[in-house]
Chain A
Amino acid sequence: MTVMTPVLEISGLGKTYKSGHVALSAVDLTINKGEIFALLGPNGAGKTTLISIVCGIVTASSGTVTVAGHDHGRDYRAARTMIGLVPQELHTDAFETVMATVSFSRGLFGKPRDPAFIEQLLRDLSLWDKRGSKIMELSGGMKRRVMIAKALSHEPEILFLDEPTAGVDVELRRDMWNMVRSLRERGVTIILTTHYIEEAEEMADRVGVISKGRLILVEEKNALIKKMGRKTLTLNLAEPLGAVPEELAQWKVELAAEGHELVYEFDSQAEATGVPSLLRRMSDLGIQFKDLNTKQSSLEDIFVGLVHESGAAQEQAA
């Protein structure tokens, strides 16, 4: 990425529902033009509330949202024109045809008719052959494509995808990611929520983790993996051990597979990982191993760890 231009600035955003449920509290987030941002979090963490506020569907209790310099309250027309939303649920007009509903969305966002653009859009999403079909006749996957076509019909510069691949078959998932890539090439900013963490790992430039309404972390994905990344060294022992020898206690190693494996977890970024000294000490003790492997922790491991940590911290505070 060249120059970072913020396209979406969220500041101090909070949402407390009438029931007293705090869905979001003091969220600050800046999204840069052209990036793919993945918002991760367990169900009920506030992902959809955050998206709904930015898109104008839910009213915030506090805070501001600015879309390319336009306040999304005062200057909502300019702000909303730039945004396309694919919601999580398949909300469609059953009796409308694919063509009619996609053209409707374009009109709704104030864009002039452009049959050539709509045709290309439907072709890109493999919907062209179905353009005359009523939505109720389509499969779930096809309906999902229609939702995407509607969101893209007014050529938005920011696209929100709320759980885009939940309940979607492999083919559509692949098509969807191809589409996301080509949109990014055209400079469209994409913000997606997912709990398929491997998708965030594969696609996103940056990752945000949200838990219980708080944005607990925003980080470049690679930096995150590097920074938080812990590695595990597993040694397959030649002879099983009954217990960890006292001489190895300082490495906090653990036995696994009924004493056949010795597991050592370490920080791969630390100056002294402790690996060479551990191996030397083992050789001094005459503990032999047949094989060894190291494994980098995935985004998923990091994510689960973070959410647990934040949960525990909040409980302590309470």
Chain B
Amino acid sequence: MISNIRGIRAIYLFEMARFGRTFWTSLMLPVITTALYFVVFGSAIGSRMNEVSNVPYGAFIVPGLMMLTMFTESISNSSFGIYMPKWTGTIYEMLSAPMSPLELLIAYVGAAATKSVIIGSIIFATAHLFVDVQVAHPLLMAAFMVLMAVTFCLFGFIIGIWAQSFEQLQVIPMLVIYPLTFLGGAFYSLDMLPAAWRTVTLFNPVVYLISGFRWTFFGQGDVGIGVSMSAVALFLALCLGVIFWMFRTGYRLKN
């Protein structure tokens, strides 16, 4: 299924070059956003807050902040990557090339995920300027970051194929993912919520993802790491399933 390595490399490098053209914006945006969050949540509000589950509040929000940006960046980069050729018409070349669907997927999602991991790392580094963050399980943390980037890039890929306008491209990340992440415990622990709201929150799938990532930092989360990993696996499988179906049927790619 994978034999056209040169083809994968061509698309991967093309996509990375596209990111490269907006390198400074891509780099500065997460740095500035992170700094702003730390000024507001870390210093202004955080100084009046106690520790959350024995973790200083400033450090506590780091994993949530990384996930919040990585989710939205992954989706928008990946969806844009596959939507643009559809929009400009250059998709004809990918479809007529000796590339398997899996190869196309690896190239586009690989490039978008690379960018997400870079951005996540930049946020992590920036956070160190403001707070002292210790990572309990560095390898797991890195693995989780890559897994999240890949999963949400797959999700973005689906949106990019589904979307038929730039508006549709924006709808899901802005109106669904951003609020779900914000309400998914990016900046607070579920323990801080009243019991009724906590139950409602447990229906938010993003809770399990953020909780799992926080576990790799502090060895504790809102839910057990096993539950988090299952949620990640489920989401990943779901995305792969949808993409498999899209490629099989040629959904919005081929007539």
| Residue positions of A touching B, CB distance < 8 A | 17-18, 55-59, 76-81, 83, 85, 87, 89, 91-96, 100, 104-112, 150
CB-defined contacts of B179 to chain A, threshold 8 Å: none
Q: Which of A17, A81, A89 touches B98 (beta carbons < 8 Å)?
A: A81
Q: Which of A55, A78, A89, A95 touches B89 (beta carbons < 8 Å)?
A: A89
Q: How far is the CB of B211 from chain A (nearest CB, A)?
A: 40
Q: Is B90 interfacial (CB 8 A cutoff)? A: yes
Contact A85:B92 (CB < 8 A) given known A109-B98, A110-B4, A110-B7: yes
CB-defined contacts of A94 to chain B, threshold 8 Å: 88
Q: Is B134 interfacial (CB 8 A cutoff)? A: no
Contact A85:B250 (CB < 8 A) given known A110-B4, A111-B6: no
B96/A80 in contact, CB under 8 A: yes
Q: Is B9 interfacial (CB 8 A cutoff)? A: yes
Contact A104:B14 (CB < 8 A) given known A58-B255, A59-B254: yes
Q: Is B95 interfacial (CB 8 A cutoff)? A: yes
Interfacial residues of chain B within 1-46, with CB under 8 A of chain A in the complex: 3-7, 9-11, 14, 17-18, 21
Q: Is B139 interfacial (CB 8 A cutoff)? A: no
Q: How far is the CB of B83 from chain A (nearest CB, A)?
A: 14
Q: How far is the CB of B14 from chain A (nearest CB, A)?
A: 6
Q: Is B97 interfacial (CB 8 A cutoff)? A: yes
Contact A108:B89 (CB < 8 A) given known A57-B254, A58-B255: no
B90/A108 in contact, CB under 8 A: no
A59/B255 in contact, CB under 8 A: yes
Q: CA–CA, A100 to B17, complex, Å?
A: 10
CB-defined contacts of B99 to chain A, threshold 8 Å: 108
A108/B7 in contact, CB under 8 A: yes
Q: CA–CA, A93 to B100, complex, Å?
A: 22
Q: CA–CA, A83 to B9, complex, Å?
A: 21
A17/B96 in contact, CB under 8 A: no
Please name 12 pairs of A and B residues whose Cβ atoms are closer than 8 Å in the assembled complex, sorted by A.
Answer: A55-B92, A59-B254, A77-B3, A83-B96, A91-B93, A92-B88, A95-B21, A104-B14, A107-B10, A108-B7, A108-B97, A110-B98
CB-defined contacts of B89 to chain A, threshold 8 Å: 87, 89, 91
Contact A150:B254 (CB < 8 A) given known A77-B3, A110-B6: no
Q: Is B193 interfacial (CB 8 A cutoff)? A: no
Size category, B interface: 20 to 34
Q: Is B94 interfacial (CB 8 A cutoff)? A: yes
Q: How far is the CB of A271 from chain B (nearest CB, A)?
A: 50
CB-defined contacts of A109 to chain B, threshold 8 Å: 7, 97-98
Contact A56:B255 (CB < 8 A) given known A111-B6, A112-B6: no
B94/A108 in contact, CB under 8 A: yes
CB-defined contacts of A95 to chain B, threshold 8 Å: 18, 21
Q: CA–CA, A318 to B212, complex, Å?
A: 66
Q: How far is the CB of A80 from chain B (nearest CB, A)?
A: 4
Q: How far is the CB of A296 from chain B (nearest CB, A)?
A: 40
CB-defined contacts of A92 to chain B, threshold 8 Å: 88, 90
Contact A57:B95 (CB < 8 A) given known A17-B255, A108-B11, A110-B4: yes
Q: CA–CA, A81 to B250, complex, Å?
A: 21
From A54, which residue of chain B is reached at the shortest CB distance?
Answer: B96
From B89, which residue of chain A is reached at the shortest CB distance?
Answer: A91
CB-defined contacts of B5 to chain A, threshold 8 Å: 110
B6/A107 in contact, CB under 8 A: yes
Q: CA–CA, A261 to B3, complex, Å?
A: 71
Q: CA–CA, A85 to B92, complex, Å?
A: 9
Counting chain B CB atoms within 10 Å of each CB, the highest count among A78, A80, A100, A104 belongs to A104
Q: CA–CA, A111 to B7, complex, Å?
A: 8
Counting chain A CB atoms within 10 Å of each CB, the highest count among B9, B10, B93, B99 belongs to B93
Q: Which of B18, B93, B100, B250 touches A108 (beta carbons < 8 Å)?
A: B93
Q: Mark B85-110, 1 if CB is under 8 A from A, else 0.
A: 00011101111111110000000000
Q: CA–CA, A94 to B21, complex, Å?
A: 13
B97/A80 in contact, CB under 8 A: yes
B88/A80 in contact, CB under 8 A: no
Q: How far is the CB of A27 from chain B (nearest CB, A)?
A: 17
Report, nearest first, the 10 A-B pairs whose CB atoms are least far apart.
Answer: A107-B10, A91-B89, A77-B98, A55-B96, A80-B98, A110-B4, A108-B97, A57-B95, A91-B90, A108-B10
Q: Which of B9, B95, B96, B250 touches A107 (beta carbons < 8 Å)?
A: B9
Contact A57:B11 (CB < 8 A) given known A77-B98, A110-B4: no
Q: How far is the CB of B100 from chain A (nearest CB, A)?
A: 8
B88/A85 in contact, CB under 8 A: no
Contact A91:B98 (CB < 8 A) given known A59-B250, A59-B254: no
Q: CA–CA, A95 to B10, complex, Å?
A: 16
B14/A57 in contact, CB under 8 A: no
A150/B93 in contact, CB under 8 A: yes
Q: How far is the CB of A153 from chain B (nearest CB, A)?
A: 10
From A111, which residue of chain B is reached at the shortest CB distance?
Answer: B6
Interfacial residues of chain B within 221-255, with CB under 8 A of chain A in the complex: 250, 254-255
B10/A104 in contact, CB under 8 A: yes
| Additional pairs, 5, CB under 8 Å, beyond known A17-B255, A77-B100 | A55-B96, A92-B90, A93-B88, A107-B10, A110-B7
